[in-house]
Chain A
């Protein structure tokens, strides 16, 4: 680590980086110093699709204006659009394959074949059954769940028609999608079609390629991700606000520390159950530990935090640093966002790295595959392995003394309840407070960490700027964890960081100014919440009419691009930080940044400075407020008869 570089705004991260440097442990931070990003690749103007290349097409120097093309004649527009679309396909495939695993487990759970899983939230089951047009009446929960599982599974392989969840969007938005011909037919089909269209010598019109990218991204947001969120809620319970703690300080020196890392909450749920087993607790004591300390990392952390209050050890860039403490007996990894460097770090300490998905193995790691029919047995086996490893700690343990209290678990249903109570549940109070100007608008700030930015800094700078200007922030994924560490996820944060209007509303309802809505797959909750705002009325009749904006200031994963694309195609202005992956082509960039406004009434934007990005979001929110006639704060006035007479 170079001394002059500021790596993170998080003290626990800095402390562990210092330890890693002292002990010469390679981490993502030190590796980033050794590898500079490829200047052509960063603009996505390099084509590796066939074996006649790779064809590199750097931008012309000033005054040259060279029309560059690949060996096959592919223009830089085609190349950049293909690369962008392929990233969206990969992102959508990741969320949707996660959803497939959940759906198959759900079906097994409904059929009584999944060990340790059951239908926990019957109300959510009925809710989703209604979405899928499943008869409820007097049928048994098992029958309904089996039919739902089968129908949800069919969504992946559907060849024609429309995805079921598309109907949850506002009617006007559905009309726009229909007019543009981008309604997804089936989840898998849209991913496959991108891979076909971007194969050598197929689709050679960047506008047409990006149209399919939109169809695919919508299949992620309004398909795979939504299925995953909903079925997980049915199996594990729809999240309600819960108090938790976050940062590396949640690890305990005198307990067996097990970190669950990854994205699928299936095994982590069972680890929570198994860790409460008295027999397992006894084993831990026998090994000399005071107990078992289960902690989360990345989106698995968000899942178990929201449903069980399990402490969260940190976000993406902290995964190796958790092991650097020397206190982690075992880390489980399933799919997405786990660094291969983890095994090398684990080998420097006593930590066992255990891969659990049939989709992902890491060389050197122990593979203990999770299958729903024997899930609980596997969970107990993993815990036993961790306990046995407790006496093997090498050298002194160093756990940073940094952790923060947070409140997480704001599902769309819970927000609806919190705003109006059980019998008056409604988004009306939110819409009213947007109309009267106490709340200026709503922003979804989501996404990863990226080692090319200062860890967590862009999230926090952007979100503080937004809430200071009375913008309510909805957050998921690693962005949510950054907020937690910075103390933004408690109700008290409203008075400390939010503008006067937003703070008033937060205090009245008892919510933080930044609402933790879950893992990155749960961005579907933001879509549903925004649709509810439209349907409630008073803020236009389409998602694009709402004073809302989206952002991912520290993105790095292909999933983030898929998320951004479905936000934009849903009519939401979305600004990304870090590098922007179409800068190799001005035409493609202009298409996404300007022409999309005409097509989808939502656009992409790129702004590396998070505060400037926040100001652009606020300016967009103000434009939408003006279009709705809400440019000035106004209170609701109850008219008496005299005032009514004056109206005529």
Chain B
């Protein structure tokens, strides 16, 4: 790609090679990363709760409490 920058570096065997320079944009993010935005249907949201927050909302208990009776 034309707008990429390249640096020259020495390889382990002494040969000079071209390596891809930084590709990130400098600066600060303007907002928070809304990682929940992908969960755009109710089904996906509930699936997420049952898996990601399985400690409370999974069908079975989890980890240290898997086989214990409810308090």
Q: How far in angstroms is the closest Cβ of chain A from B71?
A: 4
Does B49 reach chain A (CB closer than 8 Å)?
yes
Q: How far in angstroms is the closest Cβ of chain A from B37?
A: 10
Q: Interface code B36-55, partner A: CB below 8 Å = 1, 0 otherwise?
A: 10110010011011011101
Chain A residues, CB < 8 A from B29: 242-243
Does A143 reach chain B (CB closer than 8 Å)?
no
Chain A residues, CB < 8 A from B65: 170-171, 534-535, 541
Q: Are A534 and B64 neighbours in the complex by a CB distance under 8 Å?
A: yes
Q: Are B31 and A309 neighbours in the complex by a CB distance under 8 Å?
A: yes
Does B11 reach chain A (CB closer than 8 Å)?
no
Chain A residues, CB < 8 A from B13: none
A171-B68, A405-B28 known; A538+B46 contact, CB < 8 A: no
A131-B56, A136-B46 known; A121+B63 contact, CB < 8 A: no
Q: How far in angstroms is the closest Cβ of chain A from B67?
A: 11
Chain B residues, CB < 8 A from A537: 62-64, 66
Q: Interface code A548-586, partner B: CB below 8 Å = 1, 0 otherwise?
A: 000000000000000000000000000000000000000
Q: How far in angstroms is the closest Cβ of chain B from A333?
A: 27
Q: How far in angstroms is the closest Cβ of chain B from A242?
A: 4
Does A223 reach chain B (CB closer than 8 Å)?
no
Chain B residues, CB < 8 A from A369: none
Chain B residues 19-43 with CB under 8 Å of chain A are 28-36, 38-39, 42
Chain B residues, CB < 8 A from A239: 32
Chain A residues, CB < 8 A from B66: 537
Does B70 reach chain A (CB closer than 8 Å)?
yes
Q: Are B32 and A409 neighbours in the complex by a CB distance under 8 Å?
A: yes
Q: Total interface residues on B, using CB and 8 Å?
A: 30
Q: How far is the CA of A131 from the CA of B35 in the complex (A)?
A: 22
Chain B residues, CB < 8 A from A414: 35
Does A31 reach chain B (CB closer than 8 Å)?
no
Q: Are B51 and A423 neighbours in the complex by a CB distance under 8 Å?
A: yes
Q: How far is the CA of A130 from the CA of B62 in the complex (A)?
A: 17
Q: Are A240 and B33 neighbours in the complex by a CB distance under 8 Å?
A: yes
Q: Which of A240, A531, A534 is within 8 Å of B34, CB to CB?
A: A240
Does A122 reach chain B (CB closer than 8 Å)?
yes
Does A126 reach chain B (CB closer than 8 Å)?
yes
Q: How far is the CA of A240 from the CA of B56 in the complex (A)?
A: 21
Tally the A-B contacts, defined by beta carbons under 8 Å: 96
Q: Are B55 and A536 neighbours in the complex by a CB distance under 8 Å?
A: yes
Q: Total interface residues on A, using CB and 8 Å?
A: 44
Q: Are A126 and B62 neighbours in the complex by a CB distance under 8 Å?
A: no
Who on chain A is nearest to B44 by CB? Answer: A123
Q: Are B51 and A123 neighbours in the complex by a CB distance under 8 Å?
A: no
Q: How far is the CA of A130 from the CA of B49 in the complex (A)?
A: 9
Q: Are B35 and A171 neighbours in the complex by a CB distance under 8 Å?
A: no
Q: How far is the CA of A241 from the CA of B31 in the complex (A)?
A: 9
Q: How far is the CA of A537 from the CA of B45 in the complex (A)?
A: 25
Who on chain A is nearest to B62 by CB? Answer: A535
Q: Are B71 and A171 neighbours in the complex by a CB distance under 8 Å?
A: yes
Q: Are B55 and A309 neighbours in the complex by a CB distance under 8 Å?
A: no
Who on chain B is nearest to A237 by CB? Answer: B34
Q: Which of B30, B33, B46 is within 8 Å of A126, CB to CB?
A: B46
Q: Interface code A242-255, partner B: CB below 8 Å = 1, 0 otherwise?
A: 11000000000000
Q: Are B71 and A174 neighbours in the complex by a CB distance under 8 Å?
A: yes
Q: Are B55 and A532 neighbours in the complex by a CB distance under 8 Å?
A: yes
Does A67 reach chain B (CB closer than 8 Å)?
no
Who on chain B is nearest to A124 by CB? Answer: B36
Residue from A122, A131, A238, A538 whose CB has the most chain B CB atoms within 10 Å: A122
Q: How far in angstroms is the closest Cβ of chain B from A309?
A: 7
Q: How far is the CA of A241 from the CA of B35 in the complex (A)?
A: 10
Q: How far is the CA of A240 from the CA of B30 in the complex (A)?
A: 13
Chain A residues 414-432 with CB under 8 Å of chain B are 414, 416-417, 420, 422-423, 425-427
A535-B62, A535-B64, A541-B64 known; A417+B35 contact, CB < 8 A: yes
Q: Interface code A158-172, partner B: CB below 8 Å = 1, 0 otherwise?
A: 000000000010111
Q: How far is the CA of A532 from the CA of B55 in the complex (A)?
A: 7
A536-B62, A538-B63, A540-B64 known; A242+B48 contact, CB < 8 A: no
A170-B65, A239-B32 known; A175+B57 contact, CB < 8 A: no
Q: How far in angstroms is the closest Cβ of chain B from A182?
A: 14
Does A609 reach chain B (CB closer than 8 Å)?
no
Q: How far in angstroms is the closest Cβ of chain A from B66?
A: 8
Q: Are A168 and B56 neighbours in the complex by a CB distance under 8 Å?
A: yes
Does A358 reach chain B (CB closer than 8 Å)?
no
Q: Are A422 and B48 neighbours in the complex by a CB distance under 8 Å?
A: yes
Q: Which of A127, A170, A427, A539 is within 8 Å of B49, CB to CB?
A: A127
Q: Are A422 and B38 neighbours in the complex by a CB distance under 8 Å?
A: yes
- A-B complex: 5 closest residue pairs judged by Cβ atoms: A537-B63, A425-B52, A240-B32, A174-B71, A535-B55
6 A-B pairs with CB atoms under 8 Å apart are A127-B49, A168-B56, A171-B71, A427-B55, A538-B63, A541-B65
Give the B-binding residues of A (Cβ under 8 A): 121-123, 126-127, 130-131, 136, 168, 170-172, 174-175, 178, 238-243, 309, 405, 409, 413-414, 416-417, 420, 422-423, 425-427, 531-532, 534-541
Q: Can you add 5 more A-B contacts, CB < 8 Å, to A243-B28, A413-B53?
A: A127-B53, A136-B46, A417-B35, A422-B35, A537-B66
